[in-house]
Amino acid sequence: MKTIFKNKSILITGGVGSVGKEIINQIFKFDPEIVRILDIDESHEFELEHELEQKLSAKDFDKLRFFLGDIRDKERLERAIEDIDIIFHTAALKHVSSCEYNPFEAVKTNILGLQNLINVSIENEVEKVIFTSSDKAANPTNTMGATKLLGERLMISANYYKGKRKTTFSSVRFGNVLGSRGSVIPLWIKQIKNGGPITVTDLTMTRFIMSIERAVELLFKSSEIAQGSEVFIFKIPAVRLNDLVDVVIREIAPKYKFNPDDIEIKIMGLKSGEKYYEELMTEEEVTRSLETKDMFIVFPQLKELINKEYLRGLGATDVHSSDYNSHKMPILSKEEIKKILYESNTLL
C-alpha cells in the first residue's frame, strides 16, 4: 500500500464523517503528497481541522487541504479533483429513515452527485475512484439501499464508457460501522447515561458489524488490488440485537452508577424500510464472485469488464462460503461482542 499511496494526491469526499476521518488517521502512514477533504458540513470541517492540527505532525498537517462544497455541485468538484490521483468517495445520505422520507434528496446526493464525481474523474483522468457502498445494497428494501445499489452500477458502467482514459472505478460494501456518527450504540450510551429507557427496533433483528479501523484497513486493501468494476464485500461477523443491547447496557450502566437490570428496553418496531436481517451479497452475485480470506469480490454482469485471472493470481478462489446472510451465519457470543466493542473503542 505504501507504493499505492506514496507521493499521491488523495481526495476524501465526506471527509468529516466517521469513515472519512479514519481514512485521514491511517493514510499518513503511507506518505501521500496531498490529502484533500471535501465536505458540505462547515462546522464539523472547522472542528476537524483544529483537531488534526493538534494530532498530526506539522509535516503531515501541511499536506491537508480543506474544501467546503457539495458533490451535487459539479463545478466545485472540478476544482476539488484537479491533480488528484485517488478518490475515496464516502459522501452520501446514509440514514435509512431520512432517505425514506426524503427520497429525491437521496437521489440527488447518492446518485446524481456520484455521477458528477464519475464525470469529473474521467475528465481529469484520476487513477482510481473507490465508492463506499453498504450491505443494504444487497436486495434493497429501502431508498438508501436502492441508491447505493445504483451507485455500484454507475461505478461499473463508468469503466465501460470511459474510453481510453486511465481511471478505474470500484466499490466496497460496508456493514454497520461501530461508533460511526448516527449509529445506534452512541445513542444507546446517551440513553443509558440518562437512566433509560433504551430504544430498540426489534430484539430479534440481526446485523453485520465492523469497526471503523477494520473498515478502512480493508478499504485500503481493496484500493490496492482493484482493477475496475469489482464490488469488494468484507467478511464481517453478525450479531443479534438482543445480545448487542445486553452487552452495551451491562458495560455502560455501572459507569454512570445505574444497575443494568434497572435499564428499561423499549421496543419501537421496525422503521420504514428496515429489514430483520442484512445480506452481504445476493445468491445471484455469488455465481459471479471470488473470495479471499477477508472478502468476497463480485464481478459485473457486463462480461467485457471481467478480469478474474488477475485476482486468482493473488489467491482468490471460487466462493465456497454461504456466510452472507446475517440470519443464517453463526452469531457472535456476548463475550465476542464485548471484545469487538472495546477493541474498536466504541464503549470508551
Q: Is residue 86 part of a domain?
A: yes
Q: Is residue 250 a part of any domain in this protein? A: no
Q: Work out how many domains the chain is built from and give that number.
A: 1
DSSP assignments along 211-271, one per residue:
-HHHHHHHHHHHHHH--SS-EEEE---EEEHHHHHHHHHHHHGGGGT--GGG--EEE--PP
pLDDT at residue 322 is higher than 80: no
- Check whether 246 has a pLDDT greater than 80: yes
In a domain, 149, yes or no: yes
Q: Which residues contact 314 (CB under 8 A, 6 or more apart)?
A: 225, 292
Please give the distance of CA 62 from its chain centroid, rounded to a whole number. 27
| Measured distance CA(146)–CA(140) in Å, rounded | 5
Average pLDDT, the chain: 91
pLDDT band at 214 (very low <50, low <70, confident <90, very high): confident
Cell numbers for 134, please give them.
453498504
Closest CA to 239 of 288, 199, 192, 203: 203
For 136, what's the count of Cα atoms within 13 Å in the CB-facing half-sphere? 22
What would the mean pLDDT of 178-197 be, rounded to a whole number? 86
Q: What is the pLDDT of residue 305?
A: 66
Give residue 304's pLDDT band: very low, low, confident or very high (50, 70, 90): low
- Does residue 327 register a pLDDT over 90? no
Q: What is the pLDDT of residues 2-30, one digit of tens each?
A: 688 999 999 999 999 989 999 999 999 99
Is the predicted pLDDT of residue 50 greater than 80, yes or no? Answer: yes
Q: Is 79 among the domain residues?
A: yes
- Residue 304 forms part of a structural domain: yes
Burial of 165 (0-12, 13-18, 19+ CB in 10 A): middle
Rounded distance between C-alpha atoms, residue 142 and residue 96, angstroms: 7
Task: Give the per-residue pLDDT at 272.
Answer: 80
Q: What is the average pLDDT across 307-327? A: 82
Q: What is the pTM for the complete model shown?
A: 0.92
pLDDT, average across residues 333-348: 88
Give me the pLDDT at residue 20, please.
93
How far lies 165's CA from each of 7, 146, 162, in Å?
Answer: 21, 29, 6
Please give the grid coordinates belonging to residue 348.
470508551
pLDDT at 2: 65
Instruction: State residue 330's pLDDT score.
Output: 84
Backbone angles phi, psi at 154, to 5 degrees: -65, -40
The mean pLDDT of 33-54, rounded to a whole number, is 96
| Assigned domain for 244 exists | no
- What pLDDT shows up at residue 21? 93
Model pLDDT, residue 29 = 93
H helix runs in 255-331, sequence order: 283-286, 308-312
Instruction: Please check whether residue 187 lies inside any domain of the structure.
Output: no
Which residues have a catalytic role annotated?
136
Domain containing 37 equals: 2-175+209-236+280-324
In this structure, what are the phi and psi dihedrals at residue 26, rounded to the nearest 5 degrees? -100, -25
Give 301's pLDDT tier (boundaries 50, 70, 90).
Answer: confident
Spatial separation of the C-alpha atoms in residues 129 and 86, rounded to whole Å: 6
For residue 23, the domain's CATH number is 3.40.50.720
Is the confidence at residue 1, as pLDDT, over 80?
no
pLDDT at 180 over 90: no
**Is 263 within a domain?**
no
% of residues, the chain, pLDDT over 70: 97
CA atoms of 151 and 131, how far apart (whole Å): 8
Question: What is the mean predicted confidence (pLDDT) over 292-317?
Answer: 82
